[in-house]
């Protein structure tokens, strides 16, 4: 799952740009700027009548901020406008990037053209590459003290580089209209993989080439993390991201087998929306909003995507995730997200820290939660007056038996060969034998884990429960 680097959550609480436009990685990359237009100092007369030079007014520093959260861009855009109106010394250039955010951000960091502050995504080693600044001693300590309890694990150097602001939960979103058309009970969504396959088949057959059973956006870089890992964890109480067992400290890649078999069968039988191998997340969600897809695995942010970005008119509902046959729903896991970092190459760290505080602060959390965009971790957003009545938001609230995410120590591990994500996607789309491929992943990941542990790169007790 792509959240908060290697952090595991200890507890969970029960764009367009502003002055803002979508830009390319090289066209609007950060490098904070001071809008000083220069010019000669002006002069004003003294009591004796002699002119005295005065310094020109100081122009504000512009801090560029990147996010990939389009579901909340309307709300954040308005908050940024208010910030810019209220602040004379700092202005925010807020840019929302596309589904290729990880690639765009990586390129910007590698070419020293990164935004001053940005939301983090997984798969990028920010600390090892020295791309981010430690926030302690730079960011307001009260804010750090408020949100730090929701972080866990440790960065490789033991320093703090970001703060979580939201709890992220995963659910099944489904179209009740398509369930009815297929003869399915809209109040009884599937609870097992077999039931999900059967529902996908019936919806597709009833759709007759217009609507399909399920959306499987394999081009989406986070599909395995967000579309598959939650399904596996929901039916296996000790498993976390990438089938990491939080009790034993071992990877159990063989647990992917039921999901691989299910997705492979759905794609082979054409029960999924066409073009799964080249389908990205936004086109898939757009098709769902238009009533062309019966189900998809969703996260907290998808509420805003469907309600605001695509303005879906469909009668859609939210349900617990289906689990592998023969297993019982274990409650699943809730992880943390919304993590911002400060680029180490920015020229105005004090101003960047002020913007960091704005994005992570209580007012932003309160507004985003009230609008149904997030489940805020900040205790100052816990007041009932900040509760949301937006369609679908209640279904994503953290459940009493939902476990907090504990992440594997992946950043300490050197993986040689194909990653588990690449291997799983390949298995979905081919007839390659499943068990040997998953066993190879077990050997690769557990071997890398043991090597890093033996080298003293992390302590096992920090990554087991």
- The Cα–Cα gap between 109 and 254 comes to 35
pLDDT at 121: 84
pLDDT at 19: 38
For 1-32+59-165+338-360, CATH gives 3.40.190.10
pLDDT at 331: 86
Q: Domain 166-337+380-465, CATH 3.40.190.10 — does that match?
A: yes
Question: What does the CA dihedral 214, 218, 220, 223 come to, rounded to 10 degrees?
Answer: 70
Stated length of the chain: 465
Domains 1-32+59-165+338-360 and 166-337+380-465 share a fold: yes
Q: Is the dihedral of CA 139, 144, 150, 152 positive or negative?
A: positive
Global pTM? Answer: 0.77
CA 33, distance to chain mean position in Å, is 28
Where does residue 186 rank: exposed (0-12), middle (13-18), buried (19+ CB within 10 A)? middle
- The domains of the chain are located at 1-32+59-165+338-360, 166-337+380-465
Tell me the pLDDT of the chain (465 aa) as tens digits.
434 433 333 333 333 333 333 333 333 444 555 544 344 444 444 444 555 555 566 799 999 999 998 888 999 999 999 999 999 999 999 999 977 898 999 999 999 999 999 999 876 789 889 999 999 999 999 999 999 988 866 677 889 999 999 999 999 999 999 999 999 999 999 999 999 999 999 999 999 999 999 999 999 989 999 999 999 999 998 999 999 999 999 999 999 999 999 999 999 999 999 999 999 999 999 999 999 999 999 999 999 899 988 999 999 999 999 999 999 998 888 988 888 999 999 999 999 999 999 999 999 999 999 999 999 999 999 898 999 999 999 999 988 888 888 889 988 899 999 999 999 999 999 999 999 999 999 999 999 999 999 999 999 998 998
């Amino acid at each position: 799952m792509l959240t908060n680097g290697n952090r595991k959550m200890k507890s969970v609480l029960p764009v367009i740009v502003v002055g803002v436009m979508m830009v390319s990685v090289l066209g609007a990359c950060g490098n904070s700027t001071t809008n000083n237009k220069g010019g000669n100092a002006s002069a004003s007369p003294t009591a004796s009548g002699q002119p005295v030079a005065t310094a020109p007014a100081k122009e504000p520093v512009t801090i560029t901020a990147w996010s990939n959260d389009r579901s909340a861009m309307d709300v954040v855009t308005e908050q940024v406008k208010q910030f810019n109106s209220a602040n004379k010394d700092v202005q925010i250039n807020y840019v929302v990037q596309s589904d290729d955010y990880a690639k765009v951000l990586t390129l910007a960091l590698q070419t020293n053209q990164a935004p001053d502050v940005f939301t983090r995504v997984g798969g990028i080693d920010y600390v090892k590459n020295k791309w981010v600044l430690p926030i302690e001693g730079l960011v307001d300590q009260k804010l750090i003290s408020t949100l730090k309890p929701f972080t866990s694990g440790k960065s490789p150097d033991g320093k703090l580089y970001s703060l979580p602001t939201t709890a992220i939960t995963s659910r099944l979103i489904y179209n009740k209209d398509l369930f009815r058309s297929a003869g399915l009970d809209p109040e009884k969504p599937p609870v097992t993989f077999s039931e999900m396959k059967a529902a996908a088949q019936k919806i597709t057959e009833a759709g007759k080439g217009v609507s399909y059973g399920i959306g499987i956006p394999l081009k989406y870089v986070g599909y395995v993390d967000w579309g598959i890992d939650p399904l596996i964890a929901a039916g296996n109480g000790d498993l976390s991201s990438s089938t990491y067992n939080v009790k034993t400290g071992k990877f159990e890649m063989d647990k992917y087998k039921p999901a691989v078999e299910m997705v492979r069968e759905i794609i082979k039988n054409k029960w999924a929306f066409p073009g799964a191998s080249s389908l990205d997340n936004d086109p898939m969600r757009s098709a769902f909003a238009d009533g062309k897809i019966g189900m998809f695995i969703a996260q907290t942010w998808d509420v805003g995507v469907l309600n605001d970005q695509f303005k879906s008119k469909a009668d859609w509902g939210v349900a617990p995730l289906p689990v592998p046959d023969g297993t019982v729903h274990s409650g699943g896991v809730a992880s943390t997200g919304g993590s911002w970092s400060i680029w180490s190459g920015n020229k105005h760290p004090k101003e960047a820290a002020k913007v960091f505080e704005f994005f992570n602060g209580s007012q932003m959390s309160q507004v985003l939660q009230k609008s149904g965009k997030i489940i805020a971790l900040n205790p100052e957003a816990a007041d009932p007056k900040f509760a949301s009545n937006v369609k679908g938001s209640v279904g994503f609230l953290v459940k009493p038996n939902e476990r907090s995410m504990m992440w594997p120590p992946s950043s300490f591990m050197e993986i040689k060969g194909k990653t588990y994500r690449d291997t799983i996607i390949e298995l979905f789309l081919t007839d390659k034998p499943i068990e040997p491929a998953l066993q190879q992943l077990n050997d690769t990941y557990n071997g890398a884990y043991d090597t890093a542990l033996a080298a003293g790169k992390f302590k096992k007790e920090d990554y087991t429960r």
